[in-house]
Structure formats: C-alpha cells, structure tokens
Structure 1
C-alpha cells in the first residue's frame, strides 16, 4: 500500500478543521428519542443465552472513547483475566485468557469468526481489528465449545457492530489522533498517526446504511536504533554496528467498511463488507558495503509483508412462529499475505531490485451458522435451542522468506457441526442446561463436545452460575500445514497432530447491592479449572535426512486453576472497578521424566477509576493493571524446550475526555505511564537443564496521545 503520508495528513486535517466551522442547524436537545424496535439483532440471541449461563463482561462505546481506542489491542489491556502479548518482530499482538494463549480464545465480529494468518477465529492479531464502527465488545469467560465450537476453551470475544441511528437523518464523524511512541514523535515520520471517517444514514425506520475508513500509521519503535536510512563507516569502510532499523517494526493499516441494515416485516437483514490492508516493513540490521565508480554505495536486503483481507458477512434473523426465533449467518472471507524481499539503496533511498515477491499465505473461508431458539416457548419447565455450523477453509501457509517454487500445496479443512442446548427448570430459581455439539471434520475424527450449565437465583440479585464441559481444541491451519524448507530452514507443520482434549469448570457468584440512594456495588466471585491433555507446543526433532526439524507436537498436559474477585462500584459521578485473580499454572513436557509438577501461582490485579464533571462535560479516567509472573514453555540456545516463567509487570494508563462544543470533543491521555519496555524470562536449573534467562519486549515506553473527534448530525 503506497500512500503519500504528508498529503493524506494535510487533507484530513483541513477537512476536520473546515467541518468544525461549518454551519448547520443545531439539534433540539429536548427532543424525545425514538427507539427502534428490534426483534433479533445479529448474534444478540446467542449472547443472551451466554449471559444467562456464563460470566460476560462488556466494554461499551463510551469506555472505548475514554481511552481513545482505535484497535482491539488498545482496549483489552485493562481486562482482568486478559493479557495482550505483543511480538515486536512480526508486529502481531494476541490475547491470553486465564493464562491460555490466543489459540484458546475465539474472536468474533457480529458472531462470525475472524479469518487471520493462522486460522479462523483463533490466535488473531488484535491490532488488525479496527473498532471505530463498534458498538460494544463482549467478553464471555468459560469454555464455550457447545455454542462456538472447537478452540473456544478459555472464552469468546464478540465484537458488536453499530447499526443505524436513533433518529432518521445523517451522522458524519471525523477524528484525528496523534500519539507518541515512547518519547519518539515527529509528524509523518515517528509516532502513531490515526485518521478516521464515518458516515451513517438512517433513511427511514426500516433501513440504514453506513460507510467508513480508518488509517493507522505506526512508524515503529526506534528505542536506540537509527532507522531505515542509517549506516556507519570506519576508515572508509562500512561498520556493521547493528543499529540500523527499529526495535519494533513499523506498519501502516487501512480499514474500509460499509454495512446496511434492513427490516422486512419482523425480519432483519444485516450485511457488512470490510477491506483491510496492512503493510509491515522489516529493516535488515546488516549493511552491505560496495564501491561504485570510486564511491561507497551501501545497501541492505529488507523485507515487506503486505496483508489484504476481504470480509463479507450477512445475518438474517426474525421470528419463525410466535416467540420462536431463528438467526442465520453467511460469510465469505479471504486473505492473502504477500512477501517481498528487496535490495534497498540507503544512499539514494530507493528500492534498487527485487529478490523475491510471492504470496506466502492464503486463506479462503466459507462459513455459515444458524440456530433456532425458544423452540418450546409455552413450557415453563423445558426449552430447546438447536443449530448448525459449517466451516470450509482452503489455502496454504508458508513463511515469507527464502526460496519459492510452484510446489506450494493447498490444503482444505471442512467442518460440519450440529449443536443443541436444552433448558430444564425444576423450580423458579433453578435452571439446568445440558448441551452437546457433534463435530465432523475432514482432518480429525468425529468428536462430541459437551457441557452442563446451571444457574440458581438465591434472590433477584444474588445469582450462582456454574458450567462444566469439554476443553476441546483442534490444531489450526499453521500448526498442521506450515511448510518452509530450503538450505537454511526446516520448519514444518505436523499433519499428524491430535486435537487437545480435557475438561473445564467455571463457577460464578454475583450480587448487586444498593448502598446509597445513588450508589451500587456489584461484587463477582469466580472459580475456574482447566485441564488440557495432549497440549500442542513447538518442538525440535529430526527429519528423514537427519536434519534438525522445527515442528509442533502434543505434550502431556497443561493445567490451570484460579480464583478471581471483581467489584464494580457506582456512586453519583464515580465509577470504580477493582478486581484480582490468583492463578496457578502447571505443564509437563514428559510426565514420565518429571516429578516436579507444582503449580506456579501468580497474582493479577486490576483497578479502574472514572469521574464525570458534569459542569464541564468532562470525564477523567485511569486504569491500572498488575500482571504477576506467568509460566510458559520456552526454548534455549540449543532449541531444547524448558518450562520457565516471565517476571511481573504493572501497566498504568490515564486520560481526560471533554466536550469542547456540542460537536467537537477532545481526549488527552498517556499510556504505559510506568514506562514498561522489557520483562525478563527465566528458568530454574533442573535435572536436565541449566538455569537460563532472557528478556521479552512487552511495550514501547510511556506514550502520550491527543484525539479530536467531530460529530455532525443533520
């Protein structure tokens, strides 16, 4: 994606400034809001079942605006049981829920799994998910395999798109955001520069549509490195001091989306079209020195990864007969990731020649999910929900370096699934909800995913929820079919991987107190236990020719157990959140060789504070999160696996959001105030390993941002 950054920025700034001073009729603030009648909206029917059976947290639109969130990574940092894991080398950030990585958490947009570099719905790069057209984000904790299929072991993150306006008419929204990266900032060249544009038209009570675009330019994190055009000399020769490039690779993202929402009688049709483009640059630290016509002409072999993704989602919902409703999703998504390796002329600042230019990853996904719920509406004792899910993924996956040929082999995974959830209410307070999903896969044996959920209402506000069920995860496309072999590399997926299996238990006790005329306290206590058998991890082995092979394999087990307490306190203009989780994790690479299987315990702590100053239309907010030491599986300098831990760290953000006028608002804030950059990883010496240590880049330092948003309704 080649964009003139200077022109885009100047045009956008001019457009925003001109719009602020544009003359339009002021909206009557005393008008009565007319609410649109909705029978079923997107995935809300499934989510309402989830809220009944599982613990569900919601990040609302106002929470997103208070922290100036642009992508999903911006807003998940402060969620109690979620850790965002960034990787500076490839620019990806994934989530970890209850100590389980992104393979175990399913990410959906309006109930449809998101296609990514690595699979469908799992291990998603959350920096690629733009949230400017998002109404809310729902986080469902607990094993959700019956409702959402394999790989929803730790939970589900469902992103709900905005739909229409409250009143007929138009809404125009523009925003401009400038952000430092640590202490680094220059217009156009350093820092983070974001522009958003969105138009929505509520044509009438039955039909609305919208169009929007967002550009996110991250110039990278230098952190002492000297950038793309740096080289050093000594005695007239190139001196390779490894300071060229950046610590965190730069990338530029463009998201364009459109949707249409139509009511036909009592039936709703919602269509979403989205295009995403990302360009990621990797600058080689090694500079090649050469002389041409008696003059030093340094070059470097650099890389560029470009991702293109198209998403087409259609949701149809409505009543079948009386209170019985249906909900059907159809989706077609495709993604291609292109790799280019080229010679960059540093002195002339241009691309000199291309060494490799090929598609390194391709995915084409057809998906459909449908269900009918409230099938027995007249019964006070029994009810039923039935549904199906279909996924067909075709493509290939190979790292984008080295030699390419026409021998890339396409693979296909097709899943056919049916599921059902029943509800028994022996009393008004007790509900029992057994459920099952039958999965037939082209890659694995048929499998039955099961769960048993129960709710008990002690009072109208004091409620107990519990769920026990399968912890089933199937290997993703990359783990199975990744293939890259040349003279210097031997990295392959393992098509013989077995799905992980196990059991999960989640218990939640929640209450709600009114402690003053305008004050409410909502405490929530959770217990969870997850036991995974045949857990999948990276290993080293030998291939048929005796060479070292980097691949995937099943290890013995991985377990976690924990408790969390989450409190929400609202009093007048104060909104305070306070929570803590005590998590224990243990893993075994080979249970027969290891006797020390003690849990590594860690404490995670989270607090948030928001205060609204009505007189100034201003909200002040802050979020603090302490992430305790965590256990993981690492490899040493000899590529031997060992079980180690990462040290604890604390993250603090703060912001102030104010309405300058009825149409213009500003958000000023700071991220990572405690200036976290690296955290240490280490292991203890054991019977078969020596003590090892290292570090991992986790943040880009204390950063500051300013966001201006302009809204025009007419």
Structure 2
C-alpha cells in the first residue's frame, strides 16, 4: 500500500504545481513522432498507445554499442546474462524473451530459435539507430504472435541533413579492472559514411568491430598450461563484426529503401581440463579440447511506402533473414599454441522469409481512419544432431528440420469522435501451418482532459506460439529424460492498461512531465517443463499446464530547468504463477509475489564548454518465485526462492571540440561493482526446476571507458 501512495503522490506533483504557472495557455512543444503500432507516423501525443522513446542522445550518453548497454537502465526490464555463452536476453514483467518482440524498422529480427524473440541483446548493434520505441503490453493485433509483454522497435537512419556525413569512432573499455591493449578489456571501432546525392537519393554504409577479450576473474586465459582447473575465462571472449548498408529514394509521395545488415560473431570456449600428450624423450605436453561458436546473420529489408491513386497510403516490406550458429571443435596445443583436428558443422540455424503490408486512409473524413494489413511468415528451423537435444518423428537423434508458416490478416480503425476523444479497435486472424488458427484483438481509447491531461486505456488479446525447443527437444541419458511435445498449443493472454500523462510548462522555462500507468496481464495454457513420470525413471515434458498473472503500477517523472534534466521512475510488480507437477499431484501457491524497481537519471549541460554530465541509477528490489524441490523425506514440494536486491549505476561526461567535429565521452558502468547477487532457497533440496542456493550472474564488475568520435559533415 505504501508503494501505491508514493506513486500517486508523485503523479499529483504536476497537477499541484500547475497552479503556479503564470500563463496557463503556454504553447506546447512539438511532440516526438513515433511509428510503432501507428497507422502512420504521428506525434506521440496523438498515439492511442503509451509509447516510450529512448532517444539517440540517450544512446550516445550511455556510450551504448548494443541493446544490452541501453536496456539495463529501463524500468520493468531485467537483463539476463550468461557468462558461459556470452548471451544477454530481456525479461519484462517477469516473462522471458519469448514473450517480448524486438523489431528493426517494424520487421521482427531473426534469432537462432525464433523471429523477433529470444534475441541476444549483445548481437543488436546501435551504430545507425535514430531512436528506440517501446510499447508495453499486448501488441498482437499489429505485430502478431509472441508480442505478449511488449514490443521494442529500433528505428534506423534513412536520410541525412548534410550531403556528406562521416563518423569514425574508437572506444576502449575495461572489463572489471582488467585492461590491456589487445588481450584484455573491450575494444570497439566503427565507421559510418552517409551521402545524399540530391533531394531524392540517399546512401548510408557502416562497419563495426567489437572485441570483448573475456573476463579472467582469477582464471589464466587460453595459454595457461598448468592442469589445475584455472585455464580459460569466467566470461568467454567474443569477437563481433557488423556491416550495414542502406540505399533510399524518395520523390513526392513515393519512398523506397533497401537495407542490408551482416552480423558475425565468434565466441571461444577454452576447456580448463588439460590432456597429457606424449613427447618422448622430452617432458609430456598438454592439449585441450576446446570449441568455438560461430554466428552469422544476414538481414535484408526492402520497403516501399507512399500513396496509391493519390489517396490511399500504403506501406509494404519484404524481408529475408538467416541466422546460423556453427559449432567448431578443435584441439589446442599449449606448447605450440596451435589448433589441430578441427571439425565444424551447423549447430542451429533459422531462415525466414517475411512480408508485411498495410493500406490506410480510405476516407476523406479525417475523423475516421481505417487500415487493412497482412503478414506472411515462412520460417525454416534446423538443429544438428551434435546438439544432442532434438529428435525427428521416429524419435531418432539426428538432424531435424521443421518449417513453421503463418498467414495473417489484420484490420485497425482509428475513430476521432472529437479533438479530445479517440477510439481504436483492432482484430487479427492468423492461419497457422502447425497449430490451430489463432486470433488477436484489441481496443484502445484516448481522451485529453482540460489543461492537457492525457488518458489512455487499452485491452488486448494475444498469443505465443511454442518455440523450437519446446516442440522438438529430446535429451535422454542416465540422469535425465527431458522431451519436447509436438502437440503443444499456443498460449493465450489478455492485457489491460490504463495510463495518465501530463506536461506542464512554466514562464520560467521549467518543464514537468508525468506518466502514470497501471497494467494487468493474464496468461493461460502457459508452457512449462513438468514431471510426468516418477518410476522407473523421472521423466519431464513440456506441457500447456501453468497460469501466469501480473499487475504493475509505474510512474515516471521528468523535470527540466535551464541546463538541468532529471527523471525518476518507480514500478511495483506483482506476479502470480500456478506451477504444477502433474505426475505427483503437487501444485504451487499462486499468491502474488511483489517486487520494486526504481530508476533515475540526471544530466547537466554546460553550453559554453560544450559539455554534458549524466548519471544513471537503477534499483532492483527483492524478487521471489516458487521452485520445485524435495523435503527431508524425498517428497516433492514447492519452496519460495528469493533473489536479493541490487543496484546499478552508470556515469558519463561528453565534451565536443572544434565545432562539434570531435567528441570525447568518458564514463563508468556498474559503479557499485556488482558481479552477482545471491539466490536464497528457503528449505528443501534442488530439483530440475530449482536453482538451489547459488549466485545469479549480473555483470563483471565496475568498468571504465573512453570513446572518441570524429564527425565530418559538409555539403
């Protein structure tokens, strides 16, 4: 209850302070233009959805190279890191990355096992990004399957202000307290060149290299030749290569662009166990059985938008994407420092042909707009037998290839009953090749009260389709029997959101903005891995069995005055899960478990020095969840596990020289030096579902960076 009072009091601040204004008819600033979930580009104030925007300036101030660098500070989002494979994924409202969709220019981004979901955030480069738009809650009507907890849309650069825009960047960063010019730390180089031939043609090309040399954390690296278990790294070394190009043309009401992205990544695993090798008559030498994960992603996007018959607005995109992860196994000779006996094969791959299009502006009356749309998705997934976790229809462990298709049609109407009141109903129907046909629906309302108070309400129904692992996993040995389930059905969800937004402008130049939102989400037929058999072996299988409920209340306050800009946000999340062990007739408590998040930022500009200082802080409160274990008699039982609270703080200073041609950014990430946080199991012993008493990996400690950028812009 005290959290609710605090949030409500904070939201009222703008309402009370509004009475202090000298001129209540102050002219509003031009609103940001957003495109995610809209019928067309429009101001954020007119959007029926509550859209959050991460600006290009925010990205620059954080010296962010990938999505993980940015989202760490976002309210309601938790980043889940893995030092063993270098992946970082997103969790929103307690739901993992399968429920959250990541788009690039409204096109879902391919991953190893999905389309727009389960995306590794460290594999999303931000060099050519203009802004990031986030909408929380169900977006199934406009963005299809798996847009359950929200969508994130990355808007890339498609035009330029100058004829030539050239930018070169070097960034050096420590990894914890580790740094050396080549074999320790993080080393980033990038180059961007944009050219506007005339008012019609635009070209943009870029390249980026990110070398993460790994985190030693007491280990001794790849060339350590003592067999004491200290060889290797705590966080695996990772090399990333990014190349992108865009060609755009526009004239009158016609626009078209083609965008190509390439992403390459090598993640190296160095085995701590050394194997002796006979070297008679000299002392024996050692070699290690190492491996390397090699990822290649190709992204192509062709888009055309404009007018048909001088009236109808159309927007059509066609995309072909492929992501492939290969496994290279090799032996590494410690004395000669050479690799031998290399083998390489595809571990997992995903190829997707995707197209979406909309047609709108059917009526001359601006009070009513209507949109028709389609989505076509043809996804071909492949997993190698070397993964040891997939089977075919005959239950034989070998390469498996499966195709998932869907053909969707959706319609959205936007009805402006008055200048203040808008209604937006929507409906999508999806023809599925593997599952029963699905549908999504939504209804959004927007009303502007006196003095600019914006109110929005929405209800949406969406669905999540089972992923490749849930459908086809097969992992059986002496200790495990874990199987997928080809008869799984999509999960269904309903979300509700009510939000209030208000901006106040004062004659003194001060600005205050408030955003208060309340969200409720209900997920049925949730897929989970459950115990289905106890004797003679303990068997686990993916089943549609569990339920998930969540409610969230959050507020964000922003204050601007002269050179100061500050934000503070608070969120309370309550999560109720019903977990079921079918074979043992044991069910968890489904009471709501609560957690608190807080984030804030403050920046101060010194114009005469061309300098900006910024500080970012995020607090993640205690998190709780029920996990399965056994009591002292060996009987199955659910226990309440806790993740201790922790805080994250980043700081930076950015200064421009030579009329903004040269830019220097210095800063620090993770000022509190967090590496892990303790997970506490309140009784019982761990089972397959439980993590036991352990540490949850968060980061590699405090790190410092220096970023140098040279900009050359001219006509």
Name the TM-score, length of structure 1 as normaliser: 0.88
Q: 2-side partners of 1:80 and 1:393: how far apart?
A: 32
- 1:656 and 2:636 matched: no
- 1:141 and 2:136 matched: yes
Q: Which residue of 2 aligns with 1:452?
A: 443
Q: 1:587 Cα deviation (Å)?
A: 0.9
Q: Of residues 544, 547, 553 in structure 2, which corresponds to 1:557?
A: 547
Cα deviation digits, residues 155-178 of structure 1 (max 9, x gap): 1100011112113x2121100000
Q: 2-side partners of 1:109 and 1:580: how far apart?
A: 28
Q: 2-side partners of 1:308 and 1:488: how far apart?
A: 34
Is contact 1:40–1:317 with CA below 8 Å preserved after alignment? Answer: no
- 1:479 and 2:470 matched: yes
Is contact 2:480–2:538 with CA below 8 Å preserved after alignment? Answer: no
> Counterparts in 2 of 1:22-61, with a 5 A limit?
45=39, 48=42, 52-61=47-56
Is contact 1:369–1:389 with CA below 8 Å preserved after alignment? Answer: yes
Q: Which residue of 1 aligns with 2:621?
A: 628
- 1:325 and 2:316 matched: no
Q: Which residue of 2 aligns with 1:612?
A: 605
Is contact 1:471–1:532 with CA below 8 Å preserved after alignment? Answer: no
- 1:519 and 2:507 matched: no
Q: Of residues 288, 297, 301 in structure 2, which corresponds to 1:300?
A: 288
> Counterparts in 2 of 1:196-207, with a 5 A limit?
196-207=190-201
> Counterparts in 2 of 1:203-282, with a 5 A limit?
203-232=197-226, 238=227, 241-282=228-269
Q: Which residue of 1 aligns with 2:679?
A: 681
Cα deviation digits, residues 324-363 of structure 1 (max 9, x gap): 3111110001121110121111222111223x42101111
Three-state SS of the structure 2 residue aligned to 1:521 is strand
Q: 2-side partners of 1:180 and 1:688: how far apart?
A: 36
Q: 1:253 Cα deviation (Å)?
A: 0.4
Q: Which residue of 2 aligns with 1:668?
A: 666
Q: Of residues 581, 585, 608 in structure 1, which corresponds to 2:571?
A: 581
Three-state SS of the structure 1 residue aligned to 2:400 is coil
Q: 1:112 Cα deviation (Å)?
A: 0.3
Moved more, 180-189 or 676-685: 676-685
Q: How many residue pairs are counted as aligned between the two chains?
A: 665
Q: 2-side partners of 1:365 and 1:519: how far apart?
A: 49
Three-state SS of the structure 1 residue aligned to 2:450 is coil
Is contact 2:146–2:465 with CA below 8 Å preserved after alignment? Answer: yes
Is contact 2:579–2:588 with CA below 8 Å preserved after alignment? Answer: no
Q: 1:300 Cα deviation (Å)?
A: 1.2
> Counterparts in 2 of 1:524-535, with a 5 A limit?
524-535=515-526
- 1:430 and 2:421 matched: yes
Cα deviation digits, residues 490-515 of structure 1 (max 9, x gap): 65533222211121111111111114
Q: 1-side partners of 2:389 and 2:571: how far apart?
A: 47
> Counterparts in 2 of 1:384-423, with a 5 A limit?
384-398=370-384, 401=387, 407-423=398-414
Q: Which residue of 2 aligns with 1:346?
A: 334
Q: 2-side partners of 1:403 and 1:599: how far apart?
A: 34
Q: 1-side partners of 2:571 and 2:303: how far apart?
A: 37
Q: 1-side partners of 2:329 and 2:541: how far apart?
A: 25
Q: 1-side partners of 2:699 and 2:202: how far apart?
A: 40
**Are residues 346 and 540 of structure 1, via their aligned partners in 2, closer, same or farther at CA, if it must alter by over 3 Å?**
farther
Unmatched segments (≥5 aa) in structure 2: 1-32, 391-395
Q: What is the root-mean-square deviation of aligned Cα atoms in Å?
A: 2.8
Q: 2-side partners of 1:683 and 1:288: how far apart?
A: 37
Q: Which residue of 2 aligns with 1:158?
A: 153
Cα deviation digits, residues 8-33 of structure 1 (max 9, x gap): xxxxxxxxxxxxxxxxxxxxxxxxxx
Q: 1-side partners of 2:470 and 2:90: how far apart?
A: 18
Q: 1:487 Cα deviation (Å)?
A: 8.2
Q: 1-side partners of 2:586 and 2:540: how far apart?
A: 22
Q: 1:226 Cα deviation (Å)?
A: 1.4
Three-state SS of the structure 2 residue aligned to 1:279 is strand
Q: Which residue of 1 aligns with 2:274?
A: 287
Q: 1-side partners of 2:423 and 2:223: how far apart?
A: 65
Q: 1:699 Cα deviation (Å)?
A: 0.5
Q: 1:287 Cα deviation (Å)?
A: 1.6
Q: Which residue of 1 aligns with 2:30?
A: none
Q: Which residue of 2 aligns with 1:364?
A: 351
Q: Which residue of 2 aligns with 1:36?
A: none
**Are residues 213 and 595 of structure 1, via their aligned partners in 2, closer, same or farther at CA, if it must alter by over 3 Å?**
closer
Q: Which residue of 2 aligns with 1:29?
A: none
Q: 1-side partners of 2:596 and 2:182: how far apart?
A: 41
Cα deviation digits, residues 104-138 of structure 1 (max 9, x gap): 11100000000001200011101001110111111
Q: Which residue of 2 aligns with 1:593?
A: 586
Three-state SS of the structure 1 residue aligned to 2:59 is helix
Is contact 1:306–1:338 with CA below 8 Å preserved after alignment? Answer: yes
Is contact 1:42–1:317 with CA below 8 Å preserved after alignment? Answer: no
